[in-house]
Structure 1
């Protein structure tokens, strides 16, 4: 495994990685316009310490200092320059002639270069032995590009392009890797939803459910499915917000290796456009068992705030070169997955095939292309089909 990939595993941004220590945010250069300055750390100041043993945490009050300190990564990022704030509604939304095109403009506005911060905190417990868990905090610099736009379908690909501070104060070369993907489909008649136990199954919403709605399907770094939910955009004055239905997700990467007391993340989420980018807000329930259990049991609730703030520096253009070299391969992976979705009413993903996780198979192949190996479409297709068939336990039953 490369040093860059190992670092991203430690950050908890890629796969089911162990938690690391708290991750300091990159320093911030505010935009030139009259925008409120961000603290040097990039985040709100911590409340004054009442005693060496406790800290104030919003919503909890005084809790032990060891619990109040968030978990996350341990790497220092280089400075970023925030883009000037834009008035809302965005010009592209204001100019749209109808609700459908306002929705499209809002989805397309999610693309760009961002400093991203991830914040998660449990807000309550539902068991007699519950104690507040440590919150989670991490960061990234991330490029989001439109890879497909057919009108009623828009696909947005996230790519991490991260710069780290070396011990001598210099900046590292960009560390780049493919990240998650979000697909938006208007009036989607065919969803693939998580059912627990590494299993996904087809869900066909009624015409009334799908009318005017957009599904958001989220995929892992290896293009395997994560979750999918229907939701609706609302545009009112300077507010543009998409609100999802309540849906299931696998344990998030930040939780998988440190929590064994629940199996399913069940919740709703919102995406809100802001003058400086957008916010992904989550309200999650941590559920013990999946659909095989008639009476659910929940251990806790959690709130999450993922902030995407537009930046003008550093340049994240390294993503362009990566996609020039690897884009054809990842397009093939997406096509094969689309075919598998069409063929399978239900499927379970195996954790390993040939002693490797799915992302390891795909990342190793893509890395050869990124290093300059020519793309061989026939070889790539053989590799992709054999790999996915192995993880899906063979072809579907007839």
Structure 2
């Protein structure tokens, strides 16, 4: 082998080395594995609390000469995050927004994130209005967690899996590449792209945590999916108690039974079909999302009993998922 070829091969091996970080986790002694598992759990559970939130969304690099990135968009608010289940290897976190409505607090049920240790499968976004259960490769399960994100009505949004690591003195969970439907901020504009392909990162900070999204916004051109623009999203959660936290806790105390039944109804639809199909809607996520949220508010206001609310929600979910399947 000549000198030039040796150098070339060495450079290729060096360039490929970072990909090893996404390979199977090396086996560890039982004590080290147990300690790592507990630390992972602590980082996930630390995302619960009361927060001031800042959302910073920026289209950065255009991947097409005919596309101009839109202006950066920033927003914020107050958010309560509560642990609604912790069974060791499964942790569910419910987000609740608290906004000011003419001087009175208004609670809006927000997204939910479910964490599962060493998952066998994840519920991934497949195409417009369709999610499917996808197997996690056997060799990639050990010591890893999946994160599944659900929309405001507990319908699925996206899912990924990855490992919690320490890099540069920073704890971080990084997902695999995940496909996602458009967020409301984009969907209501009817843009040329119709999905995101992205990597999600979560890191604890001294004052809270961050969720960083690295997104490729994609769409169809001449029958092919192509990239339009790169987007960077940084959601910052800073610990903060200076808002009406009680309003969020009161809302959840009154509606948690209803939302537990809603989750169960979605889980049944997913299990019956190894996934789920439901029509998307720009303003609310799915065509039934608005009504499911209204029902929750009606429970709080005493306008409907929980049993009737659950019956209506089950019928809505069953009808929406059946009708969407029939249209395929």
Normalised by the length of structure 1, the TM-score is 0.68
Find runs of 4+ consecutive structure 1 residues off by over 6 angstroms. Answer: none
**Partner of residue 254, structure 1:** 185
Corresponding residue pairs, total: 290
- Segments of 5+ residues of structure 1 without an aligned counterpart are 1-95, 167-171
SS at match of 2:245: coil
Cα distance in 1 for partners of 2:324, 2:76 equals 39
| Equivalent residue runs for 1:44-83 within 5 Å | none
Give the superposition deviation at 1:350: 2.1
In structure 2, which of residues 209, 222, 246 is the aligned counterpart of residue 278 of structure 1?
209
Look up the match of 2:5. Answer: none
Whether the 8 Å contact between 1:264 and 1:289 is mirrored in structure 2 is no
Question: In the alignment, does 2:44 pair up with 1:121?
Answer: no
Aligned to 1:297: 226
Unaligned runs of 5+ in 2: 1-32
- The CA distance in 1 between the partners of 2:100 and 2:310, in whole Å, is 33
Name the counterpart of 2:19. Answer: none
CA distance in structure 2 between the partners assigned to 1:396 and 1:279 by the alignment? 37
> Offset of 1:206 from its aligned partner?
1.9
Q: Residue 365 of structure 1 corresponds to which residue in structure 2?
A: 295
TM-align CA RMSD: 2.3
> Which residue among 112, 121, 142 is the counterpart of 1:211?
142
Answer yes or no: is the 8 Å Cα contact 1:344–1:396 preserved in 2: no
Q: Aligned pair in 2 of structure 1 residues 208, 125: CA closer, same or farther (>3 Å)? A: same
Once the 2 structures are TM-superposed, how far is the Cα of residue 321 of structure 1 from its aligned partner? 0.8
Paired residue for 2:43?
Answer: 106
Say yes or no: does 1:321 pair with 2:281: no
The DSSP-based 3-state class of the residue aligned with 2:261 is helix
User: Greater helix share, 1 or 2?
Assistant: 2
CA distance in 2, matches of 1:122, 1:375: 45
Pair 1:133–1:396, CA change in 2 (3 A): closer
User: Where do residues 87-236 of structure 1 align in structure 2 (5 Å cutoff)?
Assistant: 98-163=35-100, 172-235=103-166
> Matched residues in 2 for 1:206 and 1:341: separation?
20
- Mapping of residues 24-35 of structure 1, within 5 Å: none
C-alpha displacement of 1:320: 1.2
**What is the TM-score normalised by the length of structure 2?**
0.82
Distance (whole Å) between structure 2 residues aligned to residue 387 and residue 374 of structure 1: 16
Find the aligned partners of 2:325 and 2:135 in 1 and give their Cα distance. 19
CA distance in 2, matches of 1:363, 1:250: 20
Q: Which residue of 267, 278, 291 maps to 1:338? A: 267
